[in-house]
A and B are shown apart, each in its own frame.
Chain A
Amino acid sequence: MEDEAFTDISGKPISLDCQSHSSFCREFIISSPKVSMGKVMVYTCSVWLLAYAVFFFTQNTAVLSGAILVTLVGMMLHIHFVKVDHESLLVIGSLGIQVSSSYASGREITTFIEMSKIKDIVINEAIYMHQIIYYLCVLLKDPSEPDAVSSVVPLFQVRMSISQEPV
């Protein structure tokens, strides 16, 4: 399962990598494309041109420093909280499932779900705007009622759909 062309819901290309560490331990990594320099430059230039235009009319230098600050803070927040670099699913037999997403700034959020809490892993469908997307999710057991489902945890939170393009 290597290097087929996959796209996510918004049409951006993503790649899937499978590693098999042992017969009962597998890791699946989905990576998004990195931050593109062209987009960054376009955004920064447009914000600064706007700031210069406002400065031209108001002659207030605080506008310029404000624009610089806003751009910097916005970029930092974007790469720290919004831009997901890769997400991985580590399946360890008879121990559990570990879901981790790592952001462009290096921050990693990891959740480990024990085997005793997992009821099942299913493919669920949802309606998103004009299309139906399918996503993997884990059904968790309720501690008091072993048969009921307590929560549904979608895997790969950055919404990815595997739709094959004819290569």
Chain B
Amino acid sequence: MVLKIFFPQCCNRAESGLLVGRWISGHDSAVVLAVIHYPFIPGQVKQYIQQMQAQSGVELTVLGSWSLPKEGQESMESFLRDLSTIFPQQRWLQVSRQMGKMGFICEVVNRNQNGQETQQEAKKQNEEEEEKVIFVHYEQRKVMLSQLHPTESGDPDPNTEPSSELKQVFQTVARSQPLFFLDRYDDGPLKSTHWQSEGREASIIVELLKQASVPLCMLISWLLALWTWICNIRIFSLYPLRFLSSKLSTCVQISYRTEHMRTLSSPKPAAGHKQFMRKGNILVSFLVDVGLGILLMSWLYRDDHIATLANMLMPAADHVAKELEELLQWLMGAPAGLKMNRALDQVLGRFFLYHIHLWISYIHLMSPFIEGILWYGGLSVCLGLTFALSLLSDMVALLTFHIYCFYVYGARLYCLKIYGLSSLWRLFRGKKWNVLRQRVDSCSYDVDQLFIGTLLFTILLFLLPTTALYYLVFTLLRLVVVLFQGILHLSVDFINSFPLFAMGLRIFRPYRLAEGVKFQVLCDEPGTALHLLMEINPLKCSTVVQTYRTPTYSCYPRDSWAALVKKLFVGELIYPWRHKSTKAD
């Protein structure tokens, strides 16, 4: 079996001392975490290690000894061997290095049950009995901060060990944080070397932000409590308002942001990597959203853009109404050379024209208030760009309400006609739809039933082109509006769910999100063990987006293309975008 020793790069030049770390059971490997230097008192070392074990939950032991003799210092071979008696272990590693040489030399001292030593030297003639050692060098700070993917979902039991060796190594280093507080520059009884000895400073801004976050969280949770109390007032629970608020995308977006704020404002620190990333992503996308919203707002309120927009709105609505009227006049004549049924044509055309007239009067009634509404509505844009887009989508829906109404009328009429035709077609052939058995059965009709049925069938059949044409025209208009709204919803969804924090972490600190590791063979000199350098292989950008996407009310097509075409053909009302609610399980 090959013995693997994970050795931190910061300890390559450490002075002689004791190696502290952990044996990984089942894989014949050891992780070295720190080196404790001479002079030390063995009792204090044992006490320190027990204290660290209690604080961190990692099974720390003294693995062996490390010797890097300086010039003029005689080698402490016998002293090091005697140390193994003070710290009784199953295996004792004696790692030594000469200054100027790259390779390490490792001797493994095995103890069997009786406490007797059976020593195996690294150099032996009989190669089969030689214990082979691999030194894997890792950068301690990066491995400590890194998170191996795929992470376990849910709450993993901290006592069960993952079967993967690398995961255990990463977990060991990450959980040994209490060990890295004291280093050799401190005035304690023990002097140790680990990654902190390289003199890494913390950022003062991050510390200040951490201090400031607690009162901020309390303020946000108080505001949220107030807002929830307002929303729960009885008067808002009446049926029409509730139905309306579930249809308007602005209200949906508000409720969604409230959920986010609730996640952010909990004063407890994040329990685990996924929670931490979720909070980070929510915070960063919220800040970017508000930033873009304020930018938009500053553009809107400068140079009187609001007044320009309001003045453009009325003529635009008038123009749309005029175009619709022309379209209807065209349909009432001979559209594209088709011959319509005169009477039905006139009825439908006049009905729709009257509808448009009503709508335009209503818009003209509202016109003096438009600028005021836009001005105050524009203030709410400071809550975020997503609000602006949802407001725009709602305004488009309200302004094109007449198109929606026309579509519903046309579709219902067409649908009735199609059903009537199919039922009478069955009568034509002498069959009937059996509702009980959900199938088509043969049936004998009376003569007068057949007569009336045939008459009705003929009438419906000859009126079909007219209705079909109106249906086609209004469905196309409706589809255009739906497409535009869909684009707006998709962009809102994108802003909500894109994990900006995770992407930023992947670009600027790629070692924090690790997909795996990669090894590189360092120079191997004959007679020494094999040395490998372990580097962190960062996650691919597409995997980052996939793993850390904030779940939203994702707006995706409800039906496949085939089902959509079928619905259009039959005349069922289509609502192509489906909103999924985000109820966390």
Interface of A with B (CB < 8 Å)? 21-25, 27, 90, 92-95, 98, 100, 110-112, 114-117
Q: Is the CB of A27 within 8 A of B516?
A: no
A22 to B130, CA, bound (A): 13
A114 to B517, CA, bound (A): 10
**Which of A24, A98, A114 is in CB contact (< 8 Å) with B132?**
A24
Q: Is the CB of B132 within 8 A of A23?
A: yes
A22-B132, A94-B1, A111-B537 given; name 6 further pairs at CB < 8 Å.
A25-B134, A25-B521, A95-B134, A110-B537, A112-B537, A114-B166
Report B508-521 CB contacts with A as 1/0, cut-off 8 Å: 00000000111101
Shortest CB-to-CB span from B543 to chain A, Å, is 13
Please give, as numbers and ranges, the residues of chain A lying within 8 Å of B163 by CB-CB distance: 116
Residue of A nearest to B132 (CB): A24
B402: interface (CB < 8 Å): no
* B window 109-168: CB within 8 A of A: 127, 132, 134, 136, 163-166
A98 to B517, CA, bound (A): 9
Known: A92-B134, A94-B1, A95-B134. A21 touches B165 (CB 8 A): no
Q: Is the CB of A116 within 8 A of B521?
A: no
Known: A21-B530, A92-B532. A111 touches B516 (CB 8 A): yes
A95 to B532, CA, bound (A): 11
Q: Is the CB of B164 within 8 A of A98?
A: no
Q: Is the CB of A116 within 8 A of B537?
A: no
A112 to B165, CA, bound (A): 13
Q: Is the CB of B519 within 8 A of A94?
A: no
Residue of B nearest to A143 (CB): B163
Q: Is the CB of B165 within 8 A of A116?
A: yes
Please give, as numbers and ranges, the residues of chain B lying within 8 Å of A21 by CB-CB distance: 521, 524, 530
A142 to B483, CA, bound (A): 44
A27 to B537, CA, bound (A): 19
A94 to B5, CA, bound (A): 12
Residue of A nearest to B3 (CB): A94
B2: interface (CB < 8 Å): yes
Q: Is the CB of B2 within 8 A of A93?
A: yes
B4: interface (CB < 8 Å): yes
Please give, as numbers and ranges, the residues of chain A lying within 8 Å of B134 by CB-CB distance: 25, 92, 95
Please give, as numbers and ranges, the residues of chain A lying within 8 Å of B519 by CB-CB distance: 90, 92, 95, 98, 112
Q: Is the CB of A112 within 8 A of B517?
A: yes
B559: interface (CB < 8 Å): no
Please give, as numbers and ranges, the residues of chain A lying within 8 Å of B521 by CB-CB distance: 21, 25, 27, 90
Shortest CB-to-CB span from A135 to chain B, Å, is 23
Shortest CB-to-CB span from A48 to chain B, Å, is 35
Known: A92-B519, A95-B134. A24 touches B165 (CB 8 A): no
A110 to B533, CA, bound (A): 14
Report B311-332 CB contacts with A as 1/0, cut-off 8 Å: 0000000000000000000000
- Subset of 25 A-B contacts with CB under 8 Å: A21-B530, A22-B132, A23-B127, A24-B132, A24-B530, A25-B134, A90-B521, A92-B134, A92-B519, A94-B1, A94-B4, A95-B2, A95-B134, A95-B532, A98-B518, A100-B518, A110-B518, A110-B537, A112-B516, A112-B517, A112-B519, A112-B537, A115-B165, A116-B163, A116-B164
Report, nearest first, the 8 A-B pairs whose CB atoms are least far apart.
Answer: A110-B518, A94-B2, A22-B530, A112-B516, A21-B521, A21-B524, A93-B2, A112-B517
Residue of A nearest to B540 (CB): A109
B28: interface (CB < 8 Å): yes
A114 to B1, CA, bound (A): 16
A92 to B518, CA, bound (A): 12
Residue of B nearest to A110 (CB): B518
Shortest CB-to-CB span from B548 to chain A, Å, is 22
A100 to B390, CA, bound (A): 47
Please give, as numbers and ranges, the residues of chain A lying within 8 Å of B127 by CB-CB distance: 23
Report B1-13 CB contacts with A as 1/0, cut-off 8 Å: 1101000000000
Shortest CB-to-CB span from A19 to chain B, Å, is 9
Please give, as numbers and ranges, the residues of chain B lying within 8 Å of A111 by CB-CB distance: 516, 537
Please give, as numbers and ranges, the residues of chain B lying within 8 Å of A116 by CB-CB distance: 163-165
A21 to B521, CA, bound (A): 8
Residue of A nearest to B529 (CB): A22
Please give, as numbers and ranges, the residues of chain B lying within 8 Å of A24 by CB-CB distance: 2, 132, 530
A110 to B165, CA, bound (A): 19
Please give, as numbers and ranges, the residues of chain B lying within 8 Å of A94 by CB-CB distance: 1-2, 4, 28
Please give, as numbers and ranges, the residues of chain B lying within 8 Å of A92 by CB-CB distance: 134, 519, 532
Known: A25-B521, A90-B521, A95-B134. A114 touches B2 (CB 8 A): no
* B window 500-542: CB within 8 A of A: 516-519, 521, 524, 530, 532, 537
Shortest CB-to-CB span from B106 to chain A, Å, is 14
Q: Is the CB of A114 within 8 A of B530?
A: no
Known: A21-B530, A94-B4. A112 touches B524 (CB 8 A): no
A93 to B1, CA, bound (A): 9
* B window 273-319: CB within 8 A of A: none
A22 to B529, CA, bound (A): 9
A36 to B474, CA, bound (A): 61
A93 to B132, CA, bound (A): 10
A80 to B472, CA, bound (A): 50
* B window 160-184: CB within 8 A of A: 163-166
Shortest CB-to-CB span from B125 to chain A, Å, is 15
Q: Is the CB of B28 within 8 A of A112?
A: no
Residue of B nearest to A111 (CB): B516
Q: Is the CB of A114 within 8 A of B165?
A: yes
A24 to B516, CA, bound (A): 22
* B window 563-585: CB within 8 A of A: none
* B window 343-380: CB within 8 A of A: none
Shortest CB-to-CB span from B102 to chain A, Å, is 14
A22 to B165, CA, bound (A): 22
Please give, as numbers and ranges, the residues of chain B lying within 8 Å of A98 by CB-CB distance: 518-519
A22 to B531, CA, bound (A): 10
Residue of A nearest to B4 (CB): A95
Q: Is the CB of B2 within 8 A of A112?
A: no
Q: Is the CB of A22 within 8 A of B518?
A: no
Shortest CB-to-CB span from B530 to chain A, Å, is 4
Please give, as numbers and ranges, the residues of chain B lying within 8 Å of A117 by CB-CB distance: 164
Please give, as numbers and ranges, the residues of chain B lying within 8 Å of A95 by CB-CB distance: 2, 4, 134, 136, 519, 532
Please give, as numbers and ranges, the residues of chain A lying within 8 Å of B164 by CB-CB distance: 114, 116-117
Please give, as numbers and ranges, the residues of chain B lying within 8 Å of A114 by CB-CB distance: 164-166
* B window 1-51: CB within 8 A of A: 1-2, 4, 28
Residue of B nearest to A113 (CB): B516
Shortest CB-to-CB span from A150 to chain B, Å, is 13
